[in-house]
């Protein structure tokens, strides 16, 4: 079966002929005479506009070549059996190896990457900001980051079908090879690898608490979980995570992401719903935390903003998730992805806002930085809860950390394989993939053991990574879409981008000041 599209009364039109032998293009209709009559027996001629050859079957394209590619089934980036990639290397890499995702898979990936341990710290941000400013800042941050996600989704593919399947590639296209790499490599790789290290710290620590909860206290117990060190629990969690990480590509993680999304929603809901039915601690206060000086007050306020900003994560994997979706002229990946984003972020809003508001209402200024909601629940209501409930919460957190690890680690695996395939000009073997993933697991295990206090750096991390979430997409829109200067869209993105950079500097300075002033429990190699 072949297809032909063209304009029969023009000597300048591009005619695309595709059959089982491939696609050929001809500049004039007379060139078609070189084909035998038999070669056209099964060809289908699409309807087109005589005045505009870029309108095929009622669909408008930016060029005749693009229209020819679309109707011949060679729409770039669709990856049907890995034959239609503009860059064949994409069919070898974990992110773009399979583009058979759906709106469901995109929702699961976004939920798994977007909800995590940061949500448990939101009541602490309210303790620094108070009720009014806490709700205002949380609402503004949610709307702002949702807009930048919309920007990324709409920049993912060009009119010609070229897809920017990785944040780094879009950054290079927008800012140039040198500036794009300088601006994006560190935050993208840090957010990917650093999140995996935090999953080991959080998951390994929770694994220890889970077994302590099962074993209980007192002498004469056969359970020996109390004697297992933090390093050994980290190693157990890492082994489980790397075992799951042997799945070949991001699209194959759909079931894993589904489990991760469900566990995140369930344990977050339990954490904010349980305290509502229990007595609040005595002498709690809802006023902003007292400080000794105005500088301390400003530092606490900015730290609260940093915690809120850190709660909205996942921008560094949005383009990669969209890359798993098929795209055609009639149904682009942009439409599917944005539908998935709306569904996922409705769920995220239904988790983060109640977590912040209900958690602050229940514990006020008694909420602690170390552990957030899970620590407060154990400290103030542990005696009122059964071991089953506490153990269930721990188990859900462990499973969610394992699933989240898979999504973020796939970004690193893709980058490692990209380096290899760029040099060798061939795909990685299954054995080599396994070696890459084992080496990455060993590296993040070492980082998590060496720096088990990474969670204490949440405000600083929030400030450092803020540009990737709140600023870069705005500047990318200006660079790629080229809106007229001083027009509303140009001004809107420029103001948001600059405001994000300025706020990022303030957050980093405030976080460093607080670390210097309050000190840091830097328990190197002592998890």
pLDDT 10s per residue in the chain (527 long)? 333 333 334 444 444 443 333 444 444 344 433 333 333 333 333 444 545 545 544 444 445 554 544 444 444 555 544 445 667 888 999 999 999 999 999 999 999 999 988 889 899 999 989 999 999 999 999 999 999 999 999 999 887 668 999 999 999 999 999 999 989 888 888 889 989 999 999 999 999 999 888 887 555 455 665 678 889 999 999 999 999 999 999 999 999 999 999 999 999 999 999 999 888 888 888 887 777 777 878 888 888 888 898 888 889 999 999 999 998 878 889 999 999 999 999 999 999 999 999 999 999 988 877 778 988 888 888 888 889 999 999 999 999 999 999 999 999 999 999 999 999 999 999 999 999 999 999 999 999 999 888 877 877 877 888 899 999 999 999 999 999 998 999 999 999 999 999 999 998 988 888 888 777 777 788 87
Whether the CB-CB separation of 197 and 447 falls below 8 Å is answered with yes
**Residue 202 has what pLDDT?**
93
Length of the chain: 527
Among the listed residues 474, 342, 320, 344, the one whose alpha carbon sits nearest the alpha carbon of residue 407: 320
Cα–Cα distance, 336 to 338 (Å, whole number): 6
Distance CA 279, CA 7 (A): 77
Do 355 and 122 meet the contact criterion of CB atoms below 8 Å apart? yes
The angle subtended at Cα 107 by Cα 103 and Cα 112, nearest 5°, is 150
Whole-number pLDDT of residue 330: 81
How far apart (Å, rounded) are the C-alpha atoms in residues 239 and 38? 61
Using the Cα atoms of residue 195, residue 197, residue 198 and residue 199 in order, give the sign of their dihedral: positive
Two tokens, residue 452:
């088990």
The tokens for 97 are: 């190896």
> What does 91-131 look like in DSSP terms, one character per residue?
GGSTTTS-----HHHHHHHHHHHH-SGGGGGHHHHHHHHHH
| Amino acid 187: pLDDT | 85
- Count of helices and strands (H, E) across the chain: 16, 6
Give the Cα separation of 346 and 349 in Å (integer).
5
3-state secondary structure of 20: coil
Question: Tokens standing for 363?
Answer: 């514990």
What confidence tens digit (pLDDT) does each residue in 262-280 have? 999 999 999 999 999 888 8
Q: Tell how strand 22-26 and strand 59-60 pair up.
A: unpaired
Strand-pair category, 2-5 with 43-45: parallel
Domain boundaries defined on the chain: 90-147+188-456
3-state secondary structure of 102: coil
- Helices 387-424 and 103-114 pack at an angle, to 10 degrees, of 110
DSSP state of 469: I
Residue 156 makes CB contacts below 8 A (sequence gap 6+) with 163, 164, 165, 170, 319, 322, 323, 333, 334, 337
Q: CA triplet 356, 362, 368: central angle to 5 degrees?
A: 70
| pLDDT of 402 | 97
- SS (HEC) of 150-187: HHHHHHCECCCCCECCCHHHHHHHHHCHHHHHHHHHHH
Q: Which ranges of 425-471 does DSSP label H, i.e. alpha helix?
A: 430-450, 458-466
pLDDT score at 290: 74
Assess contact for 171 and 331: CB atoms under 8 A. Answer: no
Distance CA(318)–CA(167), nearest Å, equals: 8
Rounded Cα distance, 45 and 32, in Å: 13
What is the pTM assigned to this prediction?
0.83
CB 364 within 8 A of CB 286: yes
Q: Which pLDDT score, from 0 to 100, does residue 1 have? A: 38
The pLDDT, as a whole number, for residue 52 is 54
Is 507:463 a contact under the CB 8 Å cutoff?
A: yes
For residue 169, how many other CB atoms are within 10 A of its CB? 17
Lookup: tokens for 381: 């209501």
Q: 130-151 in b/e burial notation, b at 16+ Cβ within 10 A?
A: beebbbebbeebbebbebbbbb
pLDDT for the residue numbered 254: 96
């Amino acid at each position: 079966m072949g297809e032909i599209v063209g304009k029969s009364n023009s000597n300048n039109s591009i005619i695309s002929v595709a059959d089982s032998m491939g696609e050929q293009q001809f500049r004039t209709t007379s060139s078609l005479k070189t084909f035998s009559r038999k070669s056209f027996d099964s060809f289908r001629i699409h309807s087109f506009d005589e005045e505009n050859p870029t309108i095929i079957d009622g669909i408008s394209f930016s060029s005749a070549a693009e229209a020819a590619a679309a109707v011949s089934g060679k729409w770039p980036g669709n990856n049907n059996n890995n034959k239609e990639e503009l860059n064949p290397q994409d069919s070898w890499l974990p992110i773009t190896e399979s583009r058979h995702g759906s709106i469901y898979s995109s929702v699961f990936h976004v939920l798994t990457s977007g909800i995590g341990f940061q949500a448990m710290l939101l009541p602490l941000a309210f303790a620094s900001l108070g009720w009014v400013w806490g709700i205002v800042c949380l609402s503004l941050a949610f709307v702002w980051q949702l807009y930048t996600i919309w920007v990324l989704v709409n920049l993912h593919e060009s009119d010609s079908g070229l897809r920017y399947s990785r944040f780094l590639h879009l950054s290079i296209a927008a800012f140039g090879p040198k500036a794009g790499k300088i601006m994006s490599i560190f935050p993208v790789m840090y957010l990917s690898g650093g999140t995996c290290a935090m999953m080991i710290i959080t998951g390994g620590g929770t694994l220890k608490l889970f077994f302590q909860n099962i074993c209980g206290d007192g002498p004469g117990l056969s359970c020996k979980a109390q004697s297992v060190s933090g390093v050994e629990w980290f190693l157990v969690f890492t082994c489980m995570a790397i075992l799951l990480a042997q799945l070949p590509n991001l699209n194959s993680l759909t079931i894993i992401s589904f489990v991760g999304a469900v566990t995140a929603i369930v344990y977050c809901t339990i954490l904010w719903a349980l305290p509502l039915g229990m007595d609040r601690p005595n002498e709690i206060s809802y006023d902003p935390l007292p400080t000794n000086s105005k500088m301390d007050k400003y530092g606490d306020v900015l730290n609260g903003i940093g915690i809120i900003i850190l709660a909205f994560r996942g921008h560094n994997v949005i383009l990669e998730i969209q890359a798993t979706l098929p795209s055609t002229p009639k149904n682009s990946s942009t439409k599917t992805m944005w539908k998935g984003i709306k569904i996922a972020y409705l769920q995220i809003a239904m988790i983060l806002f109640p977590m912040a508001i209900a958690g602050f209402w229940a514990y006020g200024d008694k909420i602690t930085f170390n552990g957030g909601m899970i620590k407060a629940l154990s400290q103030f209501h542990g005696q009122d809860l059964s071991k089953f409930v506490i153990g269930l919460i721990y188990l859900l957190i462990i499973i969610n950390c394992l699933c989240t690890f898979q999504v973020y680690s796939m970004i690193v695996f893709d980058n490692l394989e990209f380096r290899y395939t760029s040099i060798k000009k061939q795909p990685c073997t299954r054995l080599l993939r396994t070696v890459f993933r084992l080496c990455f697991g060993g590296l993040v295990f070492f980082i998590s053991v060496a720096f088990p206090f990474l969670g204490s750096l949440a405000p600083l991390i929030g400030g450092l990574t803020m540009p990737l979430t709140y600023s870069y997409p705005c500047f990318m829109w200006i660079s790629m879409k080229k809106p007229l200067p001083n027009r509303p869209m140009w001004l809107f993105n420029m103001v948001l981008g600059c405001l994000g950079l300025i706020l990022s500097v303030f957050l980093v300075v405030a976080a460093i000041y607080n670390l210097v002033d309050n000190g840091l429990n830097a328990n190197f190699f002592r998890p």
